[in-house]
Amino acid sequence: MFLLATQSPSRMVSAFAQPGAVLWLVVLALAPTLAGHTLFAFGLRFLEAKVATILATIEPVMATLWAALFLGESLTWLQIVGGGLVIAGVIVSQKRNRHQTSRRKNGRKSHNCCQLKGKGGPHRP
């Protein structure tokens, strides 16, 4: 839609004069959006919300990588750094989640509000 707005009026009229052009424009605009949101909502039945959120966070990074690999798109250094930061954030959140889960399995509290070195407290392990 954005690219249509950047075209000259005569070019837009000729594009819409093609048989089925408007139909295809609507289908290509709505189908991926509706399918994506529907599948995401359906997947929430089977995944925890935090897993679904992490997958949604990685999605733009993966789409960019696929575009570079299969469509020959070039990446700027800023895109590469941004993608690396997103992936690093996902790794950190997963490590924190695993650490908290293992602490809960061992019978320990998952928070460390009073576990400073040398300090006791109500949550001393």
Rounded to whole angstroms, the Cα distance separating 116 from 119 reads 5
Give percent helix, percent strand, percent coil of the chain, each to the nearest 5: 70, 0, 30
19 in the same domain as 3: yes
118 in the same domain as 70: yes
| pLDDT, tens only, 75-84 | 999 999 999 9
63 in the same domain as 109: yes
The count of domains in the chain is: 2
**Domain coverage including residue 22:** 1-46
80 in the same domain as 27: no
- Per the document, the length of the chain is 125
| pLDDT, tens only, 9-39 | 887 777 778 888 888 888 888 888 899 889 8
117 in the same domain as 62: yes
Q: Decide if pLDDT at 123 tops 70.
A: no
71 in the same domain as 28: no
CB 21 within 8 A of CB 15: yes
